[in-house]
Structure 1
Amino acid sequence: MFCRVVEEGSISKAARLGFVSQPAVTKQIRQLENSYGTSLFDRDEGKLKLSETGKLLYPYAKEILALNKASYEGIQEHLGEREKILHVGASLTIGEYLLPGLIGRFKKQHPDIKFSLSIGNTPLMLKRLEENEIDIALIEGISHDDQFKKQKFADDELILVTSYDHPWGKRKEINVTELSDEKMIWREKESGTRLIVEEALKEHDVLDNIENAMELGSMQAIKSAVEADLGAGILPRLTVQKELKYNILREIPMKDFHLMRDFWMVQKERRFRKEAETSFEAFLMG
């Protein structure tokens, strides 16, 4: 109830969500404050705000709730009274192009484990992991948060692609500086792929000279725009294999410019884990 009051910012809202009366919520908060010997909330002009000790308690309280939920689910799964469900979050490229095949192979070994999938950009997946909405995050960009356990499980090459009939297709390779002669099509700014590409281009002193034609929210949208000759794109090889095979897009080699990026499995540092999470981790790292 303490967490609910914090998240809703109101005792009345917390009471409605918990299907109890406001006095009942107030009583529970008072009991918690008496237990810790301190006030957990301050009232400022009628608004309820966390005290300093309340701010200290909140992350502990969230972890207690997460462990309580995990312990219940773990026992129910062991007893066969609950399905084994693994909650996985993946960044867009991994979720759309890599994860389906991985899950297919994994389920041949573990047919009793089901998946609940979330797909979005890297910051969103890390936020969901932090808030215990998912068990594992599979992302393109590395996280620098020390609360997470990070392991590389795959990698992929980023390549320059154009429409199949683009003039660059008649050459064996181009110089990276020639990117300034073409309009570039990008993923959104928060994309792990874009951050990696921009950092590499910055190291070659060409990023500031490149004209951004447009920003699009998915790889498929970028591929369609490049196919329509609206510009060029630097995309993961994983995402354009079919288009290259069937001559829809063309790969343009760049002299002395080779860009690889890693895929990371990120988990919370937990003492106890679901059986399904341990099995999937072993599968990815095997």
Structure 2
Amino acid sequence: MALNFHQLHIFFTVADRGSFSAAAQALHMTQPAVTMQVQSLEDYFGTKLLLRSTKRIELTEAGRALMPFAQQSIALIRETDATMSKFTRQLKGRLQLGASLTIGEYILPRLLGPFGQEFPHISISMKVMNTGQIMEEILNHQLNFGLVEAPVNHPDMHMEAVMSDELKLIVPAAHPLADRKDVMLEEALAYPFVLREQGSGTRLVMEELLRERQLDPSKLNIVMELGSTGAVKSAVEAGVGVSFVSASSVKHEVALGLIKVVPLMDARFKRQFFSIYLKSALLPISAVTFLTFLRERDLQQWL
């Protein structure tokens, strides 16, 4: 019997999840199949790797020694897939992903066309929802991966920056700042604001960037909180207040003269968009290809 990656991946997932049942769920396998593969790996090495108990499995000394190699093998397979995806043009399959609201409504629709032209045999199914819902569906194995606007902190989740973006100050067309060449940040913050709801990726990033400049987000005069970027833009257009939104989300309104983007003289609100997926998961090659496309293409030509 030869050592194989599949068994190392299963062993790592069992150790990482702490039980055979949790690993079986994560790997979409039956629990007996997971147990059999770990036993085969133990037979190969001639030693026990895991100690089974009623509460949680524990690694033996041999298991602890094997863990970093199993982890490295997973990383190597991911790196191999990413490298080889650049040479693949005849991929077939269905790609399921979740995207937070700004990404799903304004960014990805402009990128899916160019991606589809390059990889015409990959069909994409995208769910647009908030970051918390995306994480929940990934953890429940309903989605392969997600694209979100703010960093996430979860012990089971791998996170990687794949795109960049910039938040811009937008004001109504008749606003006192509308015809200004630029404006100081603190001057802009004195006006009433329309913002996304608490917990949205855009809101989290904006508040964090303000804190980095020693400004307290709670001091903003927030006159309205809304559940989508589209609603925020409509409120700004109607003169309710000003806001910070992704530059890609207001091109249409700016072109029509409905909203003005006012450059900030002393600040730039740059941010990253992140891909997230389970640490124990190996993404299908279609997903790896899509993420490689996002990382390595000049996306601004389409945005």
TM value normalised by structure 2:
0.66
Distance 1:273 1:252 in 2: 41
Match of 2:108 in 1: 99
- CA drift of 1:246 comes to 2.1
Match of 1:281 in 2: 291
Q: 1:252 to 1:272 in 2, by over 3 A?
A: closer
Which residue of the other structure, out of 103, 122, 133, is the alignment partner of 2:131?
122
Aligned-residue identity in percent = 29
Distance 2:30 2:115 in 1: 26
Contact 1:149 1:268 in 2 (8 A): yes
Please give the per-residue CA displacement for 1:171-203, whole angstroms capped at 9, x wherever unaligned: 333322224531100101110110111122233
Contact 1:89 1:117 in 2 (8 A): yes
Which residue of the other structure, out of 22, 26, 32, is the alignment partner of 1:59?
22
Q: 1:93 to 1:58 in 2, by over 3 A?
A: same
Which residue of the other structure, out of 237, 259, 262, is the alignment partner of 1:249?
259
In structure 2, list runs of 5 or more residues that go unmatched: 1-17, 32-91, 297-303
Contact 2:162 2:291 in 1 (8 A): no
Match of 1:214 in 2: 224
- CA drift of 1:127 comes to 1.6
- Segments of 4+ moved more than 3 angstroms: 55-58, 270-273
Q: 1:131 and 2:94 equivalent?
A: no
The amino acid of 1:93's aligned partner reads: T
Which residue of the other structure, out of 164, 169, 182, is the alignment partner of 1:160?
169
Which residue of the other structure, out of 229, 232, 254, is the alignment partner of 2:239?
229
Match of 1:111 in 2: 120
Please give the per-residue CA displacement for 1:261-285, whole angstroms capped at 9, x wherever unaligned: 1011222234643232232233222
Q: 1:174 to 1:271 in 2, by over 3 A?
A: closer
Contact 1:175 1:254 in 2 (8 A): yes
Aligned pairs for 1:182-201 (under 5 A) are 182-201=191-210
The amino acid of 2:147's aligned partner reads: L
Contact 2:172 2:260 in 1 (8 A): yes
In structure 1, list runs of 5 or more residues that go unmatched: 1-54, 69-82
Match of 1:170 in 2: 179
Contact 2:177 2:262 in 1 (8 A): yes
Q: 1:125 to 1:272 in 2, by over 3 A?
A: closer
Aligned pairs for 1:58-97 (under 5 A) are 58-65=21-28, 84-97=93-106
Count of aligned positions: 219
Contact 1:66 1:132 in 2 (8 A): no
RMSD, matched Cα:
2.4
The amino acid of 1:145's aligned partner reads: H
Aligned pairs for 1:24-35 (under 5 A) are none
Contact 2:27 2:281 in 1 (8 A): no
